[in-house]
Amino acid sequence: MAQGDGAVRSSWFQRFLLPGFAFKAVVIGGGYATGRELAEFFLPSGPWGGLAGMLLAMIIWSTVCAVTFAFARAAQAYDYRTFFERLLGPGWILFEIAYVAFVILILSVFGAAAGAIGAATMGLPPIVGTLTLAGAIALFATFGNASVEQLFKYVSFLLYGVYALFVVLALTSFGDRISANLALATPTDGWAAGGLTYAGYNIVGAVVILPVMRHLTSQRDAIVSGLIAGPLAMLPALLFFICMIAFYPGIASETLPSDFMLQQLRIPVFHLLFQLMIFAALLESGTGSVHAINERIAAVWRKRRGVDLSHRARAGIATLLLIGCIFVADRFGLVALIGNGYRILAYALLAVYVVPLLTLGLYRVVKGMPT
């Protein structure tokens, strides 16, 4: 595999689109797969305020991704521990603490969402959907980079296709309601805070996907792929939010806004397909988060033992992590986890990652590193 130095030729897809697809993969599960997150952070500002908040979040994502990818390549840091050792020195442990909290929260949200989807779609006990997702994440995380990159690639095609079809069906079925609600004069208060918070807790995806940075061949690749990552990740969310506007403001109180809108379409086959896509999105997001921890441990293991982390060890780490998160998901539920946990986490990540990166990190990239 290419290590960013061009030793093995990287494809155009790997250099420019894979980072954005990978970033989207991590973002979607905690960002908009169920629609609950969009209802929490954007609908309170009304249709136009919500769209403004999403645009702000997208700009933040593109900026931070571009600087993150450029810093990672300059520092040859393709796992998050190495990245933060180079950025923060001894302070890297602060990010480690924040990231472990992020993974526990995000996997708990995914588990709760999978349980809610299983209950809404098939009438299954929530724990069944949660356990199914956990088993699938552990399976893909077991086989390392190649397995994870293939997952990112093919789920991305499924996701964009299903979202595009959903938008066509939604506009056909209730496009008039979307137009009517966009014409309403509603307060837009809080749009900037909503966009900042949403961008803040999701932006950690830029360091979660550092293993795919090894395909970059130049700083130009890093900057271009980073700038592209924001729109690639936000486009499905933007389309989904526009469809949600049809049922504003009532949809804000729905636990699963996606399921609510699918019921309005009254197309059972598409309903099932969309829920399958959401499950796949939760799978790729969860796998990306767990894989980052595996790669962080693997880097230390390789340095100390001189050998790669085994598939069995990767599976064991993933399983232990997921078991703990299943209990958190079962205890607190989807709405409480999103409403309370994400805001605290967003400000912690802004403090230990975004601010140092856009000051010290950017300065060092411009100067050509060390310092």
Mean pLDDT by 10 residues, the chain (371 residues): 50 89 82 84 95 97 97 91 92 88 80 83 85 90 84 85 90 93 92 93 88 89 96 93 94 87 91 88 86 85 85 87 71 59 80 94 85 51
Instruction: Judge whether 277 and 158 are in contact, CB under 8 Å.
Output: yes
> Which sign, positive or negative, has the C-alpha torsion 124, 283, 286, 41?
negative
From residue 354, alpha-carbon distances to 64, 84, 118, 206 in Å are 7, 12, 36, 11
Query: Distance between CA atoms of 81 and 77, rounded to whole angstroms?
Result: 8
Domains and CATH numbers, the chain: 12-366 (1.20.1740.10)
Q: What pLDDT sits at residue 5? A: 42
Is 0.85 surpassed by the pTM of this model? Answer: no
Instruction: Judge whether 244 and 163 are in contact, CB under 8 Å.
Output: no
What number of other Cβ atoms are within 10 A of residue 224's Cβ?
17
Q: What pLDDT sits at residue 107? A: 82
Query: Distance between CA atoms of 298 and 313, rounded to whole angstroms?
Result: 10
Query: Distance between CA atoms of 362 and 111, rounded to whole angstroms?
Result: 36
Q: What pLDDT sits at residue 285? A: 83
Q: Which residue has the tokens 């399983």?
A: 319
Query: Distance between CA atoms of 98 and 112, rounded to whole angstroms?
Result: 21
Q: What pLDDT sits at residue 331? A: 64
As a dihedral over the C-alpha atoms of residue 52, residue 54, residue 57, residue 58, rounded to 10 degrees, the angle is -110
Averaged pLDDT score across all residues of the chain: 86
Q: What pLDDT sits at residue 328? A: 66
Q: What pLDDT sits at residue 3? A: 45
